[in-house]
Amino acid sequence: MNRRTLLAAAGLLVSVPLAGCSSSSAASDDKGFAAGDGSYTTIEADKRQPAPVLTGTSLDGTRLSTADSAGKVIVINVWGSWCAPCRHEAPGLSKAASQTSSIAAFYGINTRDLDRAPAQAFARAFSVGWPSFFDPDGDLLLKFSSLPPKAIPSTLVIDRKGRIAARFLGEVSTISLVQIIRQIAAEKP
């Protein structure tokens, strides 16, 4: 298989899980992505599954791994520079990251941007203060089998033991995210 065929197949794998999502209540002129409905799921501590340790490169090409934040609550936001709901939620995510910086580490997964430049411009424009994985083919998204991020944007919260504790499909509010992070951080390790 040549590279073009592999990229097309990977794109299809990412698109199929995302296509089943409901549309967001937020207005959007973007086409070709599935937005979430704003719902969230929390998992009882005794029913949580391990989250994958993500490794890859950041938007600027440097090495990045969620293993560097082991023992903290980890928040992973899936976004794309082309996604209107992602642009809308970015300021709230920044507030949540600021309010929980002592107990949580934030990471992004930039998906479906085939070039780093639009993703880097998004991060600059919205003052994204946390690192994001550059994942144009959706390889990192496929690692989440127990509670996959099925929409763009999606936000996953991983507990201090490295297990998926919550998932938001679609835009997440600052208040909701901060509340869940604090709740999960307060759990006994």
Cα separation, 61 vs 180, in Å, equals 31
pTM (two decimals): 0.80
Cα separation, 162 vs 66, in Å, equals 10
Three-class secondary structure assignment of 63-132: EEEHHHHCCCEEEEEEECCCCHHHHHHHHHHHHHHHHCCCCEEEEEEEECCCCHHHHHHHHHHCCCCCCE
Mean pLDDT of the chain, nearest integer: 83
Q: What is the pLDDT of residue 36?
A: 65
Of the two residues 11 and 63, the one the predictor is more confident about is: 63
Neighbours of 141 (CB within 10 A): 23
User: What are the pLDDT digits (tens) for 78-131?
Assistant: 999 999 999 999 999 999 999 999 999 999 999 999 999 999 999 999 999 999
Burial of 88 (0-12, 13-18, 19+ CB in 10 A): middle
* C-beta separation of 33 from 169 below 8 A: no
Q: What is the pLDDT of residue 33?
A: 41
User: What are the pLDDT digits (tens) for 24-35?
Assistant: 333 333 333 455
Identify the top-confidence range among 57-61, 138-142, 149-153: 57-61
**Rounded mean pLDDT, 174-188:** 96
User: What are the pLDDT digits (tens) for 52-65?
Assistant: 999 999 999 999 99
- Domains and their CATH numbers in the chain: 3-185 (3.40.30.10)
* C-beta separation of 63 from 57 below 8 A: yes
Cα separation, 185 vs 98, in Å, equals 15
Q: 164-169 and 40-42: which strand pairing?
A: antiparallel
**Rounded mean pLDDT, 172-183:** 96
